[in-house]
């Protein structure tokens, strides 16, 4: 009888301690907002982000055109993984970039 009480008390204590441990576990932290590919259709950076770029030339050109540019020419991927070329928007030709996340920016 005494050993049964000890076993019951031990089980109750284990339950109480495990509940307290769960209550102390912090919530998971959200990851960074630095997606590998920006699929939102909006830039998440106002300058090209260096990184290994898996876009093909035609995919980079398509991204630039979706950003409202026309006459996309001279696309070349540089050593930092950034596609650079020329394109027209609003009647003005400018240098443009596409980074590994798909961000399209007018180059300075």
Task: Summarize pLDDT for 58-100 with one digit per residue, the tens.
Answer: 999 999 999 999 999 999 999 999 999 999 999 999 999 999 8
Contact 56, 63 (CB under 8 A): no
What pTM was computed for the model? 0.58
* Span 7-22, pLDDT tens digits: 676 766 666 666 555 5
Element (H, E) at 62: helix 57-66
CA 5 to each of CA 2, 19, 74: distance values in angstroms, whole numbers, following the listed order: 5, 21, 83
Element (H, E) at 16: helix 2-24
Which of 98, 33, 35, 29 shows the shortest CA–CA distance to 62? 98
């Amino acid at each position: 009888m005494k050993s049964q009480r000890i076993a019951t008390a031990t089980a109750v204590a284990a339950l109480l301690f495990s509940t307290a441990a769960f209550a102390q576990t912090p919530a998971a932290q959200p990851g960074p907002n630095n997606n590998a590919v920006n699929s939102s259709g909006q830039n998440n950076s106002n300058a090209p982000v260096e990184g290994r770029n898996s876009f093909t030339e035609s995919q980079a050109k398509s991204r630039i055109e979706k950003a409202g540019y026309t006459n996309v020419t001279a696309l070349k991927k540089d050593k930092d993984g950034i596609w650079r070329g020329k394109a027209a928007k609003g009647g003005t030709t400018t240098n443009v970039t596409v980074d590994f996340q798909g961000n399209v920016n007018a180059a300075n």
